[in-house]
Amino acid sequence: MTSANIGLAMVAALALATPGAAQTVYHYGFENLANGTSVVRLDLLTGADNTERLTGGSVGTPGVDVSGDFVARSGSKVYVGTGMDFVLTDPDCCSWEGVGAYVTGGAAITATAYAWDYDLADYVVFGLSQSTGGSTLGTPNFKLEFGSFTGELPALIVKVEFRSTETFAIDDIYYGGTVGIPEPASWALLIAGFGLTGAAMRRRRGLAGQRLEAWR
């Protein structure tokens, strides 16, 4: 294989690894939802079937139908409960590089992020869980964040669980990633492409060695 062909193989590997749609960072509040809404669905990829879901709580307005101790970071509504899940409906398809949320509550709030194990077809813990560490009722908008939104350390997050022994509130969620970072299904194509390139280079070196021995 010539140097030009090797270069083309590398370009092909990168082309195959290009995500189906560019990723950006999405921010979401709850202003457009009716109070009492329990399942919040968010579309990440336009025109795709993949959808984000926030479940386990319900939308409310502090001081109206939920405790006035919860303060919305943006707008006037929050999402309240004791156990909430922010999850992708199709973890085989896509993932987030980063996920974050602003939380308030009278007891510690713990968040745990998960990646998707393709061999086990199951969730696996991504890194260490994060916690507010104690009461945050008087200090609203404590941020819990996983992964990276810069593409420097691509994460493959597909689910985040929020848990507390008392009712707490989420008042903003942000998630997504940087344009150009391959999604999980694309990493395999990228690796395979470079593997073929490496094999071709090794074969080329082997043939060159054989010619040298023959010349001697």
For residue 197, give both structure tokens: 């390139």
For residue range 140-185, list pLDDT tens digits in order.
Answer: 789 999 998 876 666 789 999 999 999 999 999 998 876 444 444 4
**Three-state DSSP state, 183:** coil
Tell me the C-alpha distance between 32 and 106, whole Å: 26
**Contact in structure between 101 and 56 (CB atoms under 8 Å):** no
Q: What's the CATH number for 19-181? A: 2.60.120.260
pTM of the model: 0.70
**What confidence tens digit (pLDDT) does each residue in 16-49 have?**
333 444 457 888 889 989 999 999 987 654 455 5
Q: In Å, how far from its chain's centre is CA 62?
A: 29
- Extents of the domains making up the chain: 19-181
Q: What's the CA gap between 10 and 180, in Å, rounded?
A: 16
- With beta carbons less than 8 A apart as the criterion, state whether 84 and 149 touch: no
